[in-house]
Structure 1
Amino acid sequence: MPDMTKTEIATAGESSTPVVPLEVQKPEKARSLWGDAWADLRRNPYFLVSSVLIFFLLLIATFPGLFTSADPTKGDLVNHFLQKPKLGSVGSPEWLGWDGQGRSVYARLIYGTRASLIVAVCVTLIVTLVGGLTGMISGYFGGLTDAIISRITDVFFGIPFLLGSMVVLQAFTDRTVWTVVFALAFLGWTQITRVMRGAVITVKQADYVHAAKALGAGTPRIMLRHILPNAMAPVIVVATIALGGYIAAEATLSYLGLGLASPAISWGVDISAGSDQIRVAQHILIYPSIMLSLTVLAFIMLGEAVRNALDPKLR
């Protein structure tokens, strides 16, 4: 091989392709079930539409004075008896007409949102707490404890929901929002108990639960730190869908005269009053019915979106 000069050696060294080290890619952090669910929910149009509707309803219930300045309990029979809606005056007291007591239908529609949502949210929180606790105890301990709780649940579950609520409400002479909450929650916890029990039975067989027991973790720690977070997904789905049902149940009881009653403001009360005037003033019945249907539909859509996001089989 011929000898190479120093200049040629230097030139050959410069022309050689430098070795670029490969960039080490860090593995992506695995997302949890809740992280995957949130990523799916943000792309779900049902979740977005229902969330906007529910936020708007919560805003109305919290600050009704922002949407109307009319008094929903003040009537004027001389000037406003069963007057028809003036749809051109959006947001004014006469926008949706007046009822048989000369009260603004629009104002009562706005203020009636608060009673319906308070009842539904409070009942949902109570039945989720009671049903979740009883279901978790029943599913985790099993044996005699499971048998006793399951039989009690079956007894309450066998009572028709609305019929049982009517019977409970008959025991109260003064029917307020809280008596309706108690009547609905008295029989509404059974479904949550069954769902939580099944989820706990499945979760407690997992390896991480057996590992926690082997490491000496106590029963409260295992139930609260390991079982509860992994068993809550189906409970949240059922509770979200049931919330819309509780709104409809409150309206049904008020319509039948067994729930909220005048002077309380409720969509069910107004629907009941509108049914007496349906031949001459249909607007008294139509607008509360539309508001009730939209509210129930919003929570059902939210529950369906959450169910699709939390159920791996539906992805």
Structure 2
Amino acid sequence: MSDPTVAAGEPMLEPGADLGRDDSGRRQDRPRSLGGDAWHELRRKPTFVVSMVIILIVVLMAAFPWLWTHVDPNAADLSRVRQGPSGQAWFGYDVQGSDVFARVIYGTRASLLVGVLSTVGAVVIGGIVGILAGYHGRLTDSVLSRFADIFAGMPFVLGAIVILMTFNAPGSNPGEVRIVTQVVLSIAVLSWPVAMRIMRAATLVAKQQDYVKAARGLGAGPLRIIVRHLLPNTVAPVLVYATISLGANIGAEATLSYLGIGLRPPVVSWGVMISDAKDYFTVAPHMLLFPAAFVSITVLAFVMLGDAVRDAFDPKSR
């Protein structure tokens, strides 16, 4: 039975359709792509807007710290040691008499850099291994999955201690670039199995679709099928994981620095500030509370963004 509300010969709207206008100004149907439909949903989510505002502020702090403060983060004034917040120093001074606000602003770059690079490394390694395991299956899948299980079964903190202490003997003082590289690699090496499992599961589903079978029937090789057909249709869940993982990796940097095996002075980061303040919390709590608050808010923003992106790409959750 036809719908009486639809005029004869007029196409019915499908879910996810977008209304455009033709040359005469009349509205017409224009279906949205998956990305367009997800963006349409994201713009209506308050959690997405709030998280993006916070992340934008954090990125601006990391890229242009001089816009937020003109104080040298390494400048020390021993006459102001552990003084509390005031009009002159909003976040007070640390144990060396340095401005905590300036150090928080300049420490954003190192913390965000470690989080972004370690996330990219984990997603690239896990994505490549996962899509190869899912596509080839059988022996390749078994070998790569067991290889990933070795890293997945290793406790994160213990694994990071082993990796970082192996490259840095106690009492050594590696350069800034070297220690940042080591922390990034240690986090990426210990976290890639999660991305691998997500990509493998998505590949196992995608390779059974008709477009993959058609490409294989037309003589397309494995590389072409993976790059042109599987990758564009399996990358979305991995990107959602990467968004959430980025915040977790920022927290991981703070954890490793707090334990004394991550970033260390002269590098300025939120984790280093928390590590320097741990012995003075009872007499100068502001030294720990402000960098810890920035870590918590940033991690929360990325988690909120990941949840919003996941819901936007998953129609079942709407």
TM-score by length of 1: 0.88
Offset, 1:147: 0.9
Give runs of aligned pairs for residues 44-55 of structure 1, distance below 5 A.
Answer: 44-55=45-56
Aligned residue-pair number: 288
Question: Residue 85 of structure 2 corresponds to which residue in structure 1?
Answer: 85
Give runs of aligned pairs for residues 1-315 of structure 1, distance below 5 A.
Answer: 28-77=29-78, 79-86=79-86, 89=87, 94-173=89-168, 174=174, 176-315=179-318
2:208 partner amino acid = Q
- Relative to 1, partners in 2 of residues 1:27 and 1:141: Cα closer, same or farther, differing over 3 Å? farther
Structure 1 gaps of 5+ residues are 1-21
Offset, 1:262: 1.5
Offset, 1:96: 0.9
Task: Give per-residue Cα distances to partners, 1:166-215, cap 9 Å, x unaligned.
Answer: 11010222262111001111111110001100000000101111111122
Offset, 1:264: 1.3
Aligned partner of residue 29 in structure 1, secondary structure: strand
Offset, 1:254: 0.3
Aligned partner of residue 171 in structure 1, secondary structure: helix
- The more displaced of 290-299 and 23-32 is 23-32
1:118 partner amino acid = L
Aligned partner of residue 168 in structure 1, secondary structure: helix
Task: Give per-residue Cα distances to partners, 1:98-143, cap 9 Å, x unaligned.
Answer: 0110000000000110011000000111111110000000000111
Aligned partner of residue 28 in structure 1, secondary structure: strand
Structure 2 gaps of 5+ residues are 1-7, 12-26, 169-173
CA distance in 2, matches of 1:157, 1:216: 37
CA distance in 2, matches of 1:82, 1:148: 55
RMSD: 1.5
TM-score by length of 2: 0.87
Offset, 1:23: 9.5
2:33 partner amino acid = S
Offset, 1:221: 1.6
Structure (1 or 2) with the larger CA radius of gyration: 1
